[in-house]
């Protein structure tokens, strides 16, 4: 099992993929693919993920900042 950053964040805040899907009105298949890193997230997914988990976009993408 690959631990993606999104999956780790879900585990840290105690939110399931199905909860993200339900609250964001996404299919569980889509949420699973995004969280597992096999599909790029939409802007709406990222916004919903942040709302549900209490994280910011900066929290999720801090490793990708240009130094």
Q: pLDDT tens, 15-46?
A: 999 999 999 999 999 999 999 999 999 999 99
pLDDT at 65 over 70: no
CATH code matching the domain that covers 5-64, chosen among 2.40.30.10, 3.40.50.2020, 1.25.40.420, 1.10.260.40: 1.10.260.40
Instruction: Please spell the DSSP secondary structure of 5-42, one letter per residue.
Output: HHHHHHHHHT--HHHHHHHHT--HHHHHHHHTTSSPPP
pTM score: 0.83
The predicted pLDDT at position 64 comes to: 62
Domain residue ranges in the chain: 5-64
Instruction: Tell me the mean pLDDT in the region 5-11.
Output: 91
Task: Give the confidence band of 62 by pLDDT, cuts at 50, 70, 90.
Answer: confident
């Amino acid at each position: 099992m690959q631990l993606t950053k999104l999956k780790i964040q879900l585990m840290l805040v105690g939110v399931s993929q199905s909860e993200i899907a339900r609250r964001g009105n996404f299919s569980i298949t889509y949420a699973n693919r995004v969280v597992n890193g096999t599909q790029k997230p939409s802007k709406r997914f990222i916004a919903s993920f942040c709302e549900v988990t209490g994280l910011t976009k900066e929290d999720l993408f801090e490793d990708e900042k240009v130094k």
